[in-house]
Amino acid sequence: MHYGVIHSNTNEIIPATILPFINDSSIPKKYTIAIPGDLFLADTSEDRIDCGKGIEIDGLSNHEVVGGLHTIHIRETRSLFVPFYKALFTRSNIFHKFAYKYSEGIKVFSLKPSLFKFLDFYYPEKLEQQKIVDLFVDLDTKITLVEQKIETLKKYKKGIVQQLLNSLAKSSLISLDKLCQITTGKLDANAQVDKGKYKFFTCAREDFLIDTYAFDTEAILVSGNGEVGLTKYYKGKFNAYQRTYVLFDFILNPLYLKTCIDSQINKVIRKETNRGTMPYIKLSTFSKIEIPMISKEESNNIGALIATLDSKINCLDLIMSTIKKIKNFFLSNLFI
C-alpha cells in the first residue's frame, strides 16, 4: 500500500487486486501483513486538505498487503468497528478538521501518528455502522454503473461517428471558412468574474462567467492554445478569450461541422507543432480545414443523431454528479 494509491483513488474502499507489488529485492526486513478491518492513512500530501486521507482494502483474506512509504497502518485493538466504517469516518468533516489542524509543513504537509491522541473517533453501535457502510457501498456501486454506461455510450458515439465519416470519404471537400463565419474573442483570459451572468469561453476545459456578452448565437468554440483543439458547442449569449475561435452563421449543421473538426484537429495541431512552436493553431490554418460537403438535410440528420447521444451522456453525467453530491453530503454529516 503506497500513499500514491490512496491519493489517486476517490473511493474509501478499494479492492486488493488493484494494488502494486513489491519487488523481491525491496522487501523490508520488518513488516506487518494487513488483515480485514485495517485502516491505511496517507500521512503526507502536497495539499493540506488531503493529509490523512484514509482507505480500507477489500479482499485482504486472499492477498498479503503491507504499508509502504508515507502511510500509517492502523489496527484496532478492541473490536469496536465493522469493516470499512473507519475509512468512511476519515472522510468526515470531524476528521478533516483534525487533520487540517495538526498537519505540519509548508510545501508538503505531514501528519504524525502521535497526534492522533487529539482525535475523537465517533462510532455508533455496530448495527448502525453496518447500515452506514451498506449505504455508501450502494452509492459507490451506483456511481460505477453510471460511469460504465457513460463510457459505453461514448464508445458507441465514437464508432458511429467514425462510420459516418468513412461513408463520406468520397464526398467533395470544402474549406471550413466557406461554411461559416470565423472570428476570435476579444478579451483577456483574466476577464472572468466569480458570479457573472454569461458564459465566458477561454482556452481551458473549464467554462467561466462574465458580466458582459459579445455574442448571442449558436456557435462552435475552439481553443487556439492552452487546451489546444478543444471544441465546444453553445447556443445563447456568451463572451470569448482572444485566442478562442468562434464559429457561427453556419451553412451546414454545426454539430456535423464540429464532428468533422474534431476528426481532423489533431492533424492541424501536429502540423503547427512540427514547425518548432508550442502547440497552437493559427487561424489561417484552422480556417482551411476541409469538410465533406453534403446536403443541409444530411447534415441535420447527422447533427440530430449526435445531439441525441450527447443528451443521453449529459443526462448520465448529471445523475452521476448528483449521486456524488449526495455521497459527499452524507460523508460530511453522518458523523456529527
The domains of the chain are located at 3-123, 172-293
Residues 198-252 pLDDT 10s: 999 999 999 899 999 999 999 999 998 888 889 999 999 999 999 999 999 999 9
The answer to whether 36 and 62 are in contact (CB under 8 A) is no
Residues 97-125 pLDDT 10s: 898 889 888 888 998 989 888 988 888 99
Give the strand pairing for 215-223 and 231-240: antiparallel
Residues 14-50 pLDDT 10s: 999 888 888 877 777 788 899 999 999 999 988 888 8
Task: For 3-123, give the CATH class.
Answer: alpha beta
CA–CA distance, 241 with 94 (Å, rounded to integer): 42
DSSP 1-36: --HHHHHH--SSEEEGGGS----GGG--SS-----T
Residues 175-204 pLDDT 10s: 999 999 999 999 998 899 988 999 999 999
**119-131 in b/e burial notation, b at 16+ Cβ within 10 A?**
beeeeeeeeebee
The answer to whether 168 and 292 are in contact (CB under 8 A) is yes
Residue 276 confidence (pLDDT): 60
Residues 253-264 pLDDT 10s: 999 999 999 999
Residue in the block written with cell 463510457: 151
Same fold, 3-123 and 172-293: yes
Cα separations in angstroms, 191 against 103, 200, 211, 291: 36, 9, 9, 34
Question: Is 107 in a helix, a strand, or coil?
Answer: coil
In terms of C-beta density within 10 A (0-12 exposed, 13-18 middle, 19 or more buried), how is residue 39 classed? buried
CA 15 to chain centre: 21
With 0.85 as the threshold, say if the pTM is over it: no
CA–CA distance, 281 with 171 (Å, rounded to integer): 26
* Check whether domain 172-293 has CATH 3.90.220.20, yes or no: yes
